[in-house]
Structure 1
Amino acid sequence: MKSVRFSRFGGSEVLEIVDLPAPHAGPGRIRIAVRAAGVNASDRKKRAGLMDQELPQLLGHEAAGVVDEVGAGVTGVSVGDRVLGLSETAGVQAESAVLSHWAPLPASAGFAAAAALPSAAETAARGLDRLGVASGTLVLINGASGSVCSVAVQLAVARGAGVIGTAGPAGHAYVRSLGAEPVAYGDTLGPAVRALAPGGVDRALDVAGHGALPGLIELSGGPGHVVTLADFTGAQQHGVAFSRGDDGRALYVLGELGALVESGRLALPRVHAFPLDRVAEAHRLGESGRAAGKIVLVDG
Structure 2
Amino acid sequence: MMNEMEAVRYSEFGGPEVLKVERVKRPEPKEDEVLVRVHSSGVLPIDWKIRQGWMPMPVHFPVIPGSAFAGVIEKVGASVTEFKVGQEVFGRTSNGSYATYTTVSIDTIALKLESIGFNEAAAISGGATTAWQVLFNDGNVKAGDRVLIHGAAGGVGLFAIQFAKWMGAHVTATAGPTNLEYVRSIGADMVIDYTSTQFEKVVQDMDFVLDTVGGETLEKSWSVIRKGGVLISIAGQPSLERAQEKGVRLIKPSRAFAKKDLETIAQLMDEGKVKGFVGQKFSLHEAAQAHELSQRGHGRGRIILQIVE
Q: Same fold (TM over 0.5)?
A: yes
Counterpart Cα distance in 2 of 1:218 and 1:54: 42
Match of 2:188, as an amino acid? A
- Give the aligned partner of residue 109 of structure 1: 116
Counterpart Cα distance in 1 of 2:201 and 2:53: 41
Give 1:44 deviation, angstroms. 1.4
- Give the aligned partner of residue 171 of structure 2: 163
Give 1:237 deviation, angstroms. 5.2
Give CA deviations for 1:195-246 in whole Å, capped at 9, x if unaligned.
Answer: xxxxx222211122232345433322137521111111x3445236353434
Match of 2:11 among 7, 10, 13: 7
Moved more, 127-136 or 145-154: 127-136
Counterpart Cα distance in 2 of 1:82 and 1:49: 33
Match of 1:63 among 51, 65, 69: 69
Give 1:23 deviation, angstroms. 1.6
Match of 2:9, as an amino acid? R
Task: State how many pairs are aligned.
Answer: 292
SS of alignment partner, residue 273 of structure 1: strand
Match of 1:117, as an amino acid? I
- Give the aligned partner of residue 40 of structure 1: 44
Match of 2:118, as an amino acid? F
- Give the aligned partner of residue 92 of structure 1: 97
Counterpart Cα distance in 2 of 1:230 and 1:37: 22
Counterpart Cα distance in 2 of 1:286 and 1:117: 17
Q: Is the 8 A contact 2:42 2:67 kept in 1?
A: yes
Q: 1:169 to 1:57 in 2, by over 3 A?
A: same
Structure 2 residue 132 is matched with structure 1 residue 125: yes
Give 1:184 deviation, angstroms. 3.0
Give 1:162 deviation, angstroms. 2.0
- Give the aligned partner of residue 144 of structure 1: 152
- Give the aligned partner of residue 284 of structure 2: 276
Sequence identity, in percent? 33
Q: 1:139 to 1:153 in 2, by over 3 A?
A: same
Q: Is the 8 A contact 1:229 1:242 kept in 2?
A: no
Q: TM-score, normalised by structure 1?
A: 0.88
Match of 2:193, as an amino acid? A
Give CA deviations for 1:130-161 in whole Å, capped at 9, x if unaligned.
Answer: 11102222211122111111111111122222
Match of 2:215 among 185, 190, 210: 210
Q: Is the 8 A contact 2:128 2:155 kept in 1?
A: no
Counterpart Cα distance in 1 of 2:37 and 2:26: 10
SS of alignment partner, residue 198 of structure 2: helix
Counterpart Cα distance in 2 of 1:132 and 1:119: 19
Q: 1:244 to 1:27 in 2, by over 3 A?
A: farther
- Give the aligned partner of residue 197 of structure 1: none
Give CA deviations for 1:42-64 in whole Å, capped at 9, x if unaligned.
Answer: 22122222234432211111100
Match of 1:85, as an amino acid? G
Q: Is the 8 A contact 1:125 1:250 kept in 2?
A: no
